[in-house]
Amino acid sequence: MRILLIEDEVKLRESLAFQLCQEGFETDACANGEEGLYYIRQGIYDLILLDRMLPGLDGAAVLSQLRREGFQTPVILITALGSLEDKIEGLDLGADDYLVKPFAFEELTARIRSVLRRPRRLTSSLQLSIGDLTYSPAEQLLKSASGQCTLSGREAALFEAFLRNPGQTLTRELLLAKVWGMDSEVEDGNLDNYIHFLRRRLKNTGSTVRLQTIRGVGYRLE
């Protein structure tokens, strides 16, 4: 798990980064919003810890910008402002959770784990394309030149997991966690069923995009 920490208070940044590393999270840290956006655009983070009050581009601006650019990376806002309005504003801007300073480090790691356990869906209205296919998350619609079909919720979540990690082989464990959630008691065979459904959908659209089995590892969209 790789975390990006954007926090301008030096002491807090250094101590959080150190403790997160101790907890086993790969952590990168930076001190302002512009630099934060630069890091975010590398697309390598599983979670962003974002301070609300930053010099220059503040946390709210960073959050709305990254959501506008289509990044669905979970964000936990960290802030000294604890009023209800601020919380609502943060969540409206697309934060996944909210933590008010000062907080115990255990509280932060609990929130991180909880946010990372939530299955994520793309909510972007943008069309995404892979090979000869386009996909609209909002309608869960797959389209190619020769056909189209609408995915069920679970099929869409599975397909989106591949779209978010283009060219990568995704392990069974990762897919189960991303689509069903780490806490759920899903049977292993469920994943095979949905891989089968998704393959049939891809075939029905007439697309050349295929879901390959990578033996002993998982699956990859090609």
Q: Give the HSE-up count for residue 67: Cα atoms under 13 Å, Cβ half-sphere.
A: 16
Instruction: Kindly state whether residue 49 participates in binding Ca ion, applying the rule CB under 5 A.
Output: no
Task: Output 8 or 35, the one with its CB closest to Ca ion.
Answer: 8
x-marked contacts with Ca ion along 4-43 as a string, rule CB under 5 A: ----x-----------------------------------
* Among positions 1, 12, 31, 53, the unique one binding Ca ion when judged by CB under 5 A: 53
Q: Please report how close the Cβ of residue 50 comes to Ca ion at its closest, in angstroms.
A: 10
Q: How far is the CB of 28 from Ca ion (least distance, A)?
A: 17
Q: Which of the residues 118 through 177 are near Ca ion (CB under 5 A)?
A: none
Quickly count helices (H) and strands (E) in the chain.
8, 12
**Smallest distance from Ca ion to CB 80, Å:** 7
Q: Which residues contact 88 (CB under 8 A, 6 or more apart)?
A: none
Give the nearest residue (CB) to Ca ion.
53
Nearer to Ca ion, 49 or 191 (CB): 49
First CA to last CA distance, the chain? 25
Smallest distance from Ca ion to CB 172, Å:
41
Distances (CA, A) of 205 to 103, 126, 182: 51, 20, 31
Q: Which is nearer to Ca ion, 53 or 61 (CB)?
A: 53
Distance CA 179, CA 191 (A): 9
Q: How far apart are CA 55 and CA 10, in angstroms?
A: 13
CA distance 14 to 18: 6
Binding of Ca ion by 58 (CB under 5 A) = no
From the list 47-55, 82-90, 119-127, 187-195, the region that binds Ca ion by CB under 5 A is 47-55
Size of the site for Ca ion (CB under 5 A): 3
Judged on CB neighbours under 10 Å (0-12, 13-18, 19+), 106 is exposed
Which residues are near Ca ion by CB under 5 A? 8, 51, 53
